């Protein structure tokens, strides 16, 4: 009897293995041959080449995966402010990645260190690059408070190295994100053996690496130094053996001269960027922790479950779950037993993460998001990956058909409304220009390059708009009559600041104010609700707003296929 049972198990195991092999073969059949022509894909003799071994996107440094889904965006309870810009609406966001923690002083100092080495501020032509990236440490000053210790030490002292960076405006956060994208992809190419080892430490202003430049014009990367771009072991081996490459390990198809990594290889990561408001709010709520089957078990008020800001766990009972202001003059409790363990910002990972593994999505510092602020979220027009702030551009092309690159002689600077000068395009990057009628003609999705005002701020959305005649809406009849500060330079190069002192301005809302989310160490518990939204000028900074990066996910919605139902 026992022998029969063993034999039966063996037969079943063999059948299961065979079925698995057949299933695998069937699932890969459509990868190995073309469903269009029947030709072999990645044939050794030539033909169409495709990376069929790609599994899924790698998780970039510092990021955690956030599976997308549907949620109610906006405030649905305890709206004591009666703030009509938090009207609830249902939105869906695609899966994405987000920084596990806020960007720290140490991370930002690494950025400053790179800028200082590549664009020495001692040289007049590069001085504004480094100076424009410096956080504003004076944000700590208060006319009736002694905060000089933070002014002098918070950014650079090692005691604050792993505290969230502050004093960074929205534009600086965007520039940091671009730098981070390039450094991560530069490192990937070196680690995989496509570029010369150690090259990333020996660049100057005229020989930097840019991801989009590498993809669109690889021979122009590193200032056109081909010894670097094709100086890795992988490139040397492929060139020596004349071996076509598609796959990560150098095997597969492709032309013999195809020695540069391209977008089709799936090796380079998408860009690091600021999260959209919808992404940030969805990630902060962490609704995956209260999911039952295909519904949510109630509504979260905070990133953690429950209606209170204090912990109910036995070991930490009574402790605050975030770093925020408990009341007038109470930033951290009494001496000897602190409510939240901090009086200003706190070191990252001081408090427990939410159900997505994200730290400090409430309290510590509020965070910049990508969106331009408007009082309402226009869910009637869009409820998928909602974002207000699209300005569509394209690569500038030279007469010979090549992409136009920024050189050391034509670095683009922006003079902000407060007089601060920031570099927006660095040497080695591709010059971008607004899309024109070639891209917008007869399209239904967009008709202009700049869509920040669409349906809420453009001419057609104002009450003065009329379809009769060609009368233009005057500046005094704008939908959002915000101040217009002007900054210009005289013949000597001195800045002339013209502050708008008009008493007829009705709002601070314009295309240069951005949303920031989450409560901070300066805020009461009300602002810890992820649904709350505020705005601040994009060229100004504070001691309570920081940021973290996000990255889009390409491919499947889930990392593990269809998930368990509960």
Residues 299-320: pLDDT tens digits? 888 999 888 999 988 888 888 9
Give the position of tokens 């009972």.
Answer: 317
Phi, psi of 441 (to 5 degrees): -65, 125
pLDDT value, residue 474: 65
Bigger pLDDT: 294 or 246? 294
Phi, psi of 470 (to 5 degrees): -115, 25
Quickly state the pLDDT bin for 271 (edges 50, 70, 90): very high
Residues 473-487: pLDDT tens digits? 666 678 888 988 888
Percentage above 70 pLDDT, the chain: 86
Percentage above 90 pLDDT, the chain: 63
Which range, 237-251, 256-270, 304-318, is most confident?
304-318
Helix (H, G, I), strand (E, B) or coil at 124: helix
Residues 563 and 382 sit within 8 Å (Cβ to Cβ): no
In the predicted structure, residue 431 carries a pLDDT above the cut 60: yes
Residue 377: both structure tokens together: 């979220």
Strand 366-372, strand 545-546: pairing: parallel
pLDDT value, residue 6: 55
Rounded mean pLDDT of the chain?
A: 88
CA dist., res. 255 & res. 538, Å (int)? 46
Residue 481: both structure tokens together: 């009559």
What is the arithmetic mean of pLDDT over 6-32? 56
In the predicted structure, residue 158 carries a pLDDT above the cut 50: yes
Which uninterrupted H or E stretch holds 229?
Answer: helix 226-229
Residues 492-528: pLDDT tens digits? 667 778 888 888 888 999 999 999 999 999 999 999 9
pLDDT value, residue 562: 61
Q: Is residue 504 exposed (0-12), middle (13-18) or buried (19+ Cβ within 10 Å)?
A: exposed
What is the arithmetic mean of pLDDT over 362-383? 96
Quickly state the pLDDT bin for 99 (edges 50, 70, 90): very high
Residues 105-136: pLDDT tens digits? 999 999 999 999 999 999 999 999 999 999 99
Bigger pLDDT: 149 or 486? 149
Strand 96-99, strand 63-66: pairing: antiparallel
Residue 316: both structure tokens together: 């930490």
Which residues lie closer than 8 Å to 145 by C-beta, 6 or more apart? none
Give the position of tokens 């009300």.
Answer: 526
Residues 522 and 546 sit within 8 Å (Cβ to Cβ): no
Residues 386-428: pLDDT tens digits? 999 999 999 999 999 999 999 999 898 988 888 889 998 899 9
In the predicted structure, residue 438 carries a pLDDT above the cut 80: yes
What is the arithmetic mean of pLDDT over 26-37? 73
pLDDT value, residue 17: 55
pLDDT value, residue 467: 66
Bigger pLDDT: 291 or 404? 404
pLDDT value, residue 253: 42
How many Cβ atoms are within 10 Å of 546's Cβ, its own excluded? 30
pLDDT value, residue 374: 96
In the predicted structure, residue 565 carries a pLDDT above the cut 80: no
3-state helix, strand, coil in the chain (%, to 5): 25, 15, 55
Provide DSSP, 391-417.
Answer: B-EEE-B-TTSPBPB--TTS-EEEE-T
Residues 270 and 338 sit within 8 Å (Cβ to Cβ): no
Q: Is residue 485 exposed (0-12), middle (13-18) or buried (19+ Cβ within 10 Å)?
A: middle
Residue 133: both structure tokens together: 């990236």
Residues 73 and 385 sit within 8 Å (Cβ to Cβ): no
Q: What is the CA radius of gyration of the chain?
A: 27
């Amino acid at each position: 009897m026992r022998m029969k049972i063993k034999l039966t198990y063996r037969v079943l195991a063999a059948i299961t293995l065979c079925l698995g092999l057949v299933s695998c073969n069937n699932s890969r059949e459509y990868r190995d041959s073309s469903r269009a022509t029947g030709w072999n894909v990645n044939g050794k003799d030539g033909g169409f080449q495709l990376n069929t071994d790609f599994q899924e996107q790698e998780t970039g440094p510092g990021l955690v995966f956030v599976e997308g889904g549907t949620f109610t965006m906006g405030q649905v309870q305890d709206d004591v402010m009666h703030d009509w810009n938090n009207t609830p609406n249902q939105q869906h966001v695609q899966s994405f990645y987000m920084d596990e923690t806020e960007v720290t002083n140490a991370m930002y100092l690494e950025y400053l260190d790179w800028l200082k080495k590549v664009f020495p501020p001692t040289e007049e032509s590069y001085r504004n690059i480094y100076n424009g990236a410096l956080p504003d440490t004076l944000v700590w000053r208060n006319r009736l408070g002694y905060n000089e210790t933070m002014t002098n030490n918070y950014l650079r002292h090692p005691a604050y190295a792993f505290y969230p960076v502050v004093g960074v405006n929205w534009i600086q956060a965007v520039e940091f994100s671009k730098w981070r994208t390039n450094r991560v992809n530069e490192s990937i190419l070196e680690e995989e053996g496509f570029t010369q080892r150690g090259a990333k430490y020996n660049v100057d202003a005229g020989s930097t690496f840019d991801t989009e430049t590498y993809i669109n014009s690889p021979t122009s990367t590193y200032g056109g130094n081909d010894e670097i771009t094709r100086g890795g072991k992988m490139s040397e081996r492929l060139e020596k053996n004349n071996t076509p490459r598609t796959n990560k390990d150098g095997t597969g198809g492709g032309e013999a001269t195809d020695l540069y990594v391209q977008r089709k290889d799936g090796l380079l990561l998408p860009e690091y960027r600021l999260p959209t408001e919808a992404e940030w709010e969805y990630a902060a709520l962490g609704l995956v922790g209260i999911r039952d089957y295909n519904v949510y078990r109630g509504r979260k008020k905070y990133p953690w479950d429950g209606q209170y800001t204090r912990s109910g766990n036995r070991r930490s009972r009574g402790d605050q779950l975030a770093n925020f202001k408990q009341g007038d003059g109470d930033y951290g409790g009494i001496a000897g037993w602190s409510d939240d363990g901090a009086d200003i910002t706190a070191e990252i990972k001081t408090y427990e993460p939410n159900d997505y593994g994200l730290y400090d999505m409430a309290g510590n510092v509020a965070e910049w998001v990508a969106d331009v602020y408007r009082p309402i979220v226009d869910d009637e027009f869009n409820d998928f990956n909602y974002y207000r702030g699209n300005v569509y551009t394209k690569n500038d092309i030279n007469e010979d058909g090549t992409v136009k690159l920024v050189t050391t002689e034509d670095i683009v600077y922006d003079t902000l409304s407060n007089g601060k000068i920031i570099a927006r395009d660095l040497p080695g990057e591709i010059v971008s220009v607004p899309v024109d009628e070639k891209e917008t003609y007869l399209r239904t999705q967009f008709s202009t390059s700049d869509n920040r005002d669409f349906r809420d701020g453009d001419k057609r959305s104002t009450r003065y708009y009329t379809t009769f005649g060609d009368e233009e809406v005057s500046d005094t009849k704008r939908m959002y009559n915000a101040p217009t500060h002007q900054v210009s330079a005289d013949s000597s190069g001195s800045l002339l600041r013209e502050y708008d002192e008009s008493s007829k301005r009705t709002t601070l809302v314009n295309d240069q104010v951005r949303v920031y989310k989450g409560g901070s160490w300066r805020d009461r518990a009300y602002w810890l609700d992820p649904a709350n939204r505020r705005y601040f000028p994009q060229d100004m900074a504070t001691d309570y707003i920081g940021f973290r990066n996000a990255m889009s996910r390409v491919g499947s919605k889930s990392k593990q296929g269809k998930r368990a139902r509960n």
